[in-house]
A = this chain, B = another copy of it.
Protein backbone atom coordinates (compact mmCIF):
# COMPACT_ATOMS: atom_id res chain seq x y z
CA UNK A 1 0.00 0.00 0.00
CA UNK A 2 1.21 3.41 -0.84
CA UNK A 3 -0.58 6.63 0.07
CA UNK A 4 -3.84 4.98 0.66
CA UNK A 5 -3.81 4.08 -2.99
CA UNK A 6 -5.91 1.01 -2.80
CA UNK A 7 -5.74 -1.53 -5.54
CA UNK A 8 -8.98 -3.35 -6.01
CA UNK A 9 -11.04 -0.73 -4.34
CA UNK A 10 -14.44 0.50 -5.13
CA UNK A 11 -15.78 -2.39 -7.07
CA UNK A 12 -15.90 -0.74 -10.42
CA UNK A 13 -14.29 -2.79 -13.14
CA UNK A 14 -13.89 -1.13 -16.44
CA UNK A 15 -13.41 -3.71 -19.13
CA UNK A 16 -13.74 -7.47 -19.37
CA UNK A 17 -10.00 -7.87 -19.54
CA UNK A 18 -8.35 -9.80 -22.27
CA UNK A 19 -6.53 -13.02 -21.41
CA UNK A 20 -2.89 -12.10 -21.66
CA UNK A 21 -1.01 -9.97 -24.13
CA UNK A 22 -3.50 -10.72 -26.82
CA UNK A 23 -4.09 -8.26 -29.60
CA UNK A 24 -1.75 -5.33 -29.71
CA UNK A 25 1.46 -6.32 -27.96
CA UNK A 26 3.65 -3.61 -29.37
CA UNK A 27 6.42 -6.06 -29.78
CA UNK A 28 9.43 -3.83 -29.32
CA UNK A 29 10.41 -3.31 -25.72
CA UNK A 30 12.74 -6.22 -25.03
CA UNK A 31 12.23 -5.28 -21.43
CA UNK A 32 14.52 -7.71 -19.74
CA UNK A 33 18.16 -8.38 -20.29
CA UNK A 34 20.61 -5.60 -19.57
CA UNK A 35 18.76 -2.81 -17.94
CA UNK A 36 17.86 -2.53 -14.32
CA UNK A 37 20.86 -4.31 -12.95
CA UNK A 38 22.94 -4.71 -9.96
CA UNK A 39 26.56 -5.51 -10.52
CA UNK A 40 25.50 -8.98 -11.64
CA UNK A 41 23.92 -9.47 -15.00
CA UNK A 42 20.94 -11.71 -14.89
CA UNK A 43 18.39 -11.24 -12.14
CA UNK A 44 18.09 -8.22 -9.80
CA UNK A 45 14.59 -7.61 -10.89
CA UNK A 46 12.71 -6.65 -7.82
CA UNK A 47 12.58 -5.72 -4.18
CA UNK A 48 13.65 -2.11 -4.21
CA UNK A 49 12.99 -0.52 -0.87
CA UNK A 50 13.41 3.25 -0.82
CA UNK A 51 12.37 3.26 -4.42
CA UNK A 52 9.99 6.09 -3.65
CA UNK A 53 12.81 8.24 -2.30
CA UNK A 54 14.93 7.37 -5.27
CA UNK A 55 12.11 8.42 -7.57
CA UNK A 56 11.78 11.72 -5.78
CA UNK A 57 15.47 12.41 -6.21
CA UNK A 58 15.31 11.44 -9.84
CA UNK A 59 12.25 13.62 -10.34
CA UNK A 60 14.13 16.64 -8.98
CA UNK A 61 16.86 16.05 -11.52
CA UNK A 62 14.34 15.76 -14.31
CA UNK A 63 12.57 18.92 -13.15
CA UNK A 64 15.86 20.78 -13.18
CA UNK A 65 16.72 19.55 -16.64
CA UNK A 66 13.37 19.72 -18.36
CA UNK A 67 11.22 21.92 -16.16
CA UNK A 68 7.91 21.00 -14.66
CA UNK A 69 6.56 21.17 -18.18
CA UNK A 70 8.88 18.49 -19.45
CA UNK A 71 8.62 16.30 -16.39
CA UNK A 72 6.61 13.26 -17.34
CA UNK A 73 6.06 9.96 -15.65
CA UNK A 74 7.83 8.25 -18.48
CA UNK A 75 10.87 10.46 -18.27
CA UNK A 76 11.27 10.06 -14.54
CA UNK A 77 10.72 6.33 -14.78
CA UNK A 78 13.32 6.02 -17.51
CA UNK A 79 15.81 8.15 -15.59
CA UNK A 80 15.37 6.05 -12.47
CA UNK A 81 15.30 2.86 -14.52
CA UNK A 82 11.98 1.67 -13.19
CA UNK A 83 8.96 0.65 -15.19
CA UNK A 84 6.28 3.19 -15.94
CA UNK A 85 3.76 1.37 -13.84
CA UNK A 86 5.87 1.99 -10.78
CA UNK A 87 5.08 5.70 -10.99
CA UNK A 88 1.38 5.20 -10.59
CA UNK A 89 2.02 2.82 -7.78
CA UNK A 90 4.18 5.13 -5.70
CA UNK A 91 2.45 8.40 -6.52
CA UNK A 92 -1.17 9.31 -6.75
CA UNK A 93 -0.53 11.33 -9.86
CA UNK A 94 1.68 13.97 -11.34
CA UNK A 95 0.79 16.53 -8.68
CA UNK A 96 1.62 14.11 -5.93
CA UNK A 97 5.02 13.50 -7.47
CA UNK A 98 5.72 17.19 -7.87
CA UNK A 99 4.57 17.91 -4.35
CA UNK A 100 6.81 15.23 -2.90
CA UNK A 101 9.79 16.35 -4.95
CA UNK A 102 9.48 20.02 -4.12
CA UNK A 103 8.87 19.29 -0.46
CA UNK A 104 12.12 17.38 -0.39
CA UNK A 105 13.92 20.18 -2.18
CA UNK A 106 12.65 22.84 0.19
CA UNK A 107 13.50 20.72 3.19
CA UNK A 108 17.06 20.12 2.10
CA UNK A 109 17.66 23.73 1.18
CA UNK A 110 16.30 24.92 4.48
CA UNK A 111 18.52 22.40 6.24
CA UNK A 112 21.54 23.85 4.47
CA UNK A 113 20.40 27.29 5.52
CA UNK A 114 19.96 26.28 9.11
CA UNK A 115 23.27 24.50 9.27
CA UNK A 116 25.23 27.43 7.89
CA UNK A 117 23.62 29.97 10.20
CA UNK A 118 23.53 27.89 13.34
CA UNK A 119 27.30 27.63 13.16
CA UNK A 120 27.71 31.36 13.48
CA UNK A 121 28.34 32.81 16.91
CA UNK A 122 28.57 36.51 16.20
CA UNK A 123 26.69 38.85 13.95
CA UNK A 124 29.74 39.16 11.71
CA UNK A 125 30.05 35.42 11.44
CA UNK A 126 26.39 35.24 10.55
CA UNK A 127 26.93 37.79 7.80
CA UNK A 128 29.82 35.79 6.44
CA UNK A 129 27.68 32.67 6.61
CA UNK A 130 25.13 34.42 4.42
CA UNK A 131 27.87 35.33 1.96
CA UNK A 132 28.92 31.71 1.97
CA UNK A 133 25.38 30.58 1.29
CA UNK A 134 25.02 32.89 -1.67
CA UNK A 135 28.36 32.06 -3.23
CA UNK A 136 28.71 28.49 -2.06
CA UNK A 137 27.89 25.41 -3.97
CA UNK A 138 24.82 24.23 -2.08
CA UNK A 139 22.32 26.86 -3.21
CA UNK A 140 24.00 27.32 -6.57
CA UNK A 141 24.14 23.77 -7.79
CA UNK A 142 22.44 24.12 -11.15
CA UNK A 143 19.90 21.49 -10.25
CA UNK A 144 18.95 23.19 -7.02
CA UNK A 145 18.68 26.61 -8.59
CA UNK A 146 16.68 25.44 -11.57
CA UNK A 147 14.34 23.33 -9.50
CA UNK A 148 13.79 26.23 -7.11
CA UNK A 149 12.82 28.46 -10.00
CA UNK A 150 10.36 25.87 -11.14
CA UNK A 151 8.92 25.69 -7.67
CA UNK A 152 8.51 29.45 -7.52
CA UNK A 153 6.73 29.53 -10.84
CA UNK A 154 4.52 26.67 -9.80
CA UNK A 155 3.73 28.08 -6.38
CA UNK A 156 2.90 31.45 -7.84
CA UNK A 157 0.21 29.85 -9.92
CA UNK A 158 -1.10 26.97 -7.89
CA UNK A 159 -2.01 27.63 -4.27
CA UNK A 160 -1.60 24.03 -3.25
CA UNK A 161 2.16 24.43 -3.69
CA UNK A 162 2.30 27.65 -1.75
CA UNK A 163 2.45 25.77 1.52
CA UNK A 164 5.86 24.46 0.45
CA UNK A 165 7.30 27.86 -0.33
CA UNK A 166 5.66 29.39 2.72
CA UNK A 167 7.21 26.83 5.03
CA UNK A 168 10.54 27.25 3.33
CA UNK A 169 10.54 31.03 3.64
CA UNK A 170 9.42 30.81 7.24
CA UNK A 171 12.34 28.54 8.07
CA UNK A 172 14.76 30.87 6.32
CA UNK A 173 13.45 33.85 8.21
CA UNK A 174 13.63 32.02 11.50
CA UNK A 175 17.21 31.04 10.87
CA UNK A 176 18.07 34.67 10.18
CA UNK A 177 16.11 35.89 13.20
CA UNK A 178 18.61 34.18 15.42
CA UNK A 179 21.19 36.76 14.40
CA UNK A 180 19.35 39.77 13.02
CA UNK A 181 16.32 41.87 13.85
CA UNK A 182 13.13 40.90 11.96
CA UNK A 183 13.29 43.70 9.44
CA UNK A 184 16.90 43.05 8.58
CA UNK A 185 16.17 39.36 8.30
CA UNK A 186 13.48 40.09 5.76
CA UNK A 187 15.77 42.29 3.74
CA UNK A 188 18.57 39.75 3.89
CA UNK A 189 16.25 37.03 2.72
CA UNK A 190 15.23 39.08 -0.28
CA UNK A 191 18.84 39.95 -1.03
CA UNK A 192 19.83 36.30 -0.89
CA UNK A 193 17.03 35.43 -3.25
CA UNK A 194 17.84 38.10 -5.78
CA UNK A 195 21.58 37.62 -5.67
CA UNK A 196 21.33 33.87 -6.07
CA UNK A 197 18.98 34.34 -8.97
CA UNK A 198 21.20 36.86 -10.67
CA UNK A 199 24.26 34.75 -10.18
CA UNK A 200 22.45 31.85 -11.78
CA UNK A 201 21.18 33.77 -14.78
CA UNK A 202 23.90 36.29 -15.43
CA UNK A 203 26.75 35.55 -17.79
CA UNK A 204 29.29 37.25 -15.54
CA UNK A 205 28.00 36.60 -12.05
CA UNK A 206 28.44 39.08 -9.28
CA UNK A 207 31.84 38.87 -7.64
CA UNK A 208 32.02 37.48 -4.15
CA UNK A 209 33.42 40.80 -2.92
CA UNK A 210 30.34 42.58 -4.19
CA UNK A 211 28.15 40.04 -2.47
CA UNK A 212 29.99 40.63 0.78
CA UNK A 213 29.63 44.38 0.42
CA UNK A 214 25.91 44.05 -0.20
CA UNK A 215 25.42 41.87 2.86
CA UNK A 216 27.48 44.23 4.98
CA UNK A 217 25.46 47.21 3.87
CA UNK A 218 22.18 45.48 4.64
CA UNK A 219 23.19 44.26 8.09
CA UNK A 220 25.03 47.42 9.04
CA UNK A 221 22.91 49.00 11.77
Chain A 34-78 interface mask (CB, 8 Å, partner B; 1/0): 000000000000000000000000000000011111100000000
A181-221 Cβ-contact flags toward B at 8 Å (1 or 0): 00100110111111101101111001000100110011010
Which of A23-31, A79-87, A108-116, A149-157 lies at the interface with chain B? Answer: A149-157
Instruction: Judge whether B69 and A165 touch: CB under 8 Å.
Output: no
CB nearest neighbor in B for A169: B202
Report the bound CA distance from A186 to B169 in whole Å.
Answer: 24
CA distance A114 to B166 in the complex (A): 33
Residue among B155, B156, B194, B210 making CB contact with A191, cutoff 8 Å? B194
Among B69, B203, B213, B218, the residue within 8 A (CB) of A69 is B69
Which applies to chain A's interface (DSSP): helix, strand, loop or mixed?
A: helix
- A120 interface hit (Cβ, 8 Å): no
| Shortest CB distance A149–B (Å) | 4
A203 touches B166 (CB 8 A): yes
A167 shortest CB reach to chain B, Å: 11
B198 lies within 8 A of A197 (CB): no
By a CB distance below 8 angstroms, the chain B residues around A189 are 194, 198
Residues of B within 8 A of A169 (CB): 198, 201-202
Are A210 and B197 in contact (CB-based, < 8 A)?
A: no
Which of chain B's residues have a CB closer than 8 A to the CB of A156? Answer: 145-146, 149, 200-201
Nearest 10 interchain pairs by C-beta: A194-B194, A69-B69, A193-B194, A190-B194, A187-B214, A190-B195, A149-B153, A190-B198, A217-B217, A153-B153
List B contacts of A165 (CB < 8 A): 201
A7 to B179, alpha carbons, bound, how many Å? 66
Residues of B within 8 A of A70 (CB): 69
Distance of A153 Cα from B70 Cα, bound (Å): 12
B-chain residues with CB within 8 Å of residue A186 when the two chains form the complex: 198, 206, 210
Q: Are A197 and B193 in contact (CB under 8 A)?
A: yes
Which residues in chain A, 102-144, are within 8 Å of chain B measured between CB atoms? none
